[in-house]
Structure 1
Amino acid sequence: MECKKAVSCIHEYLDGLLDRSAQATLDQHLRTCANCRRLFKQLEMMEQRIRMLKHVDTPDLTDRIMNSLPAPLKSRKAINWLKRHPALTAAVIFIVVMFSSLAALWNTDDQLVISTAEFDKIQVVGNRVIVPAGETIQGDLVVENGEVVVEGRVMGNLVVIDGTYTASTANIAGRITTVNQLFDWLWYKIAGLFGTV
């Protein structure tokens, strides 16, 4: 047997994997080769020393190792969550975009806007819209960003958006609607699309 083969057999023998015929051949080689015999003795002593070491049980070792690891990046958690829930992510993005665009439309400016079919029967002074005494507006009157004073009559609905009104209910034939909040304004715009205002 050659020394290279003998070294391989020594390791198999110490691991308990060597069959009887190979073990007999190794014994024959160890009787004749001093170098392999010295290596066998060294490995055998090392294995005995390792067996003599006591097994030390450290129950908190796993916890200590896990605590010493750096914390995962929070942005990664968010990105992974977004990747796992694409439909929900798309819905949230849609809602955020819709509400931000609606909020941008809601308070775009403070310009006075008047909607009526009979402009010649009203007076405008600054941001004040006046229906003078003796005048009758046939239809709805919608005023945005202004103050409405009804001294005459409105034979329809009065809608005041982001403003105030002064009127006797006897002077207005329809409903009086004030819109001063984002959701009221949104409802007014949606209802206006379907013609229910």
Structure 2
Amino acid sequence: MSTCPQNIVDYMHEYLDGDISLEHEQQLKKHLQNCSKCQQHMHELSDTVAFVKSAAHITAPPHFENEVMKRLPKGKNRIGIQNWFRRHPILVAACVFLLFMSASLVGSYSNNEFSVTKQPNLIIEGQTVIVPKGEVVKGDIVVKNGDIIIEGEVEGNVTVINGEYMASSAVVTGEIEEIDEVFEWLWFEIKTLGNNIVGVFQ
């Protein structure tokens, strides 16, 4: 059979599938009359197809599927962390937001760079902010990593982060707050963020 053309084997498969053309069927029959090895191969293929077709009619006993399912081990009804995340997406998003906000706030707290809110009538000498005598600053003043000396008047709040507030005859109409601890500073940032959000919606 190894010397026989490949198309003869193809014709055998076409014949067994019932897809063979009349011309190919005639060529196959003519070849099988003269080749005993191909006859044997065709007989083996026919037996295999007959066996498969007969096996296809075997049916499972009644309730076979239910009995097999009963014998399988029971899975644990445990809610994993992934299922919890899927069931509470808004809570997860809020936690991730707070985590990133906290990280950025703590990161900016550890930044030792001097900064001050821009207000007119302020004098800045090194890392010291001065409100000169006789001057009135309208608005809040926030000084980070520096000191503030108020000799004039501030119509607003004064906040000093990692620094000192020094005043002689100062007049401050708002609150004066010195923040030296991380948690106090974090609370100040959260209050500021909350006030800004409320201001947007008003």
TM-score bucket of the superposed structures, by smaller chain:
0.3 to 0.5
TM-score by length of 1: 0.47
TM-score by length of 2: 0.46
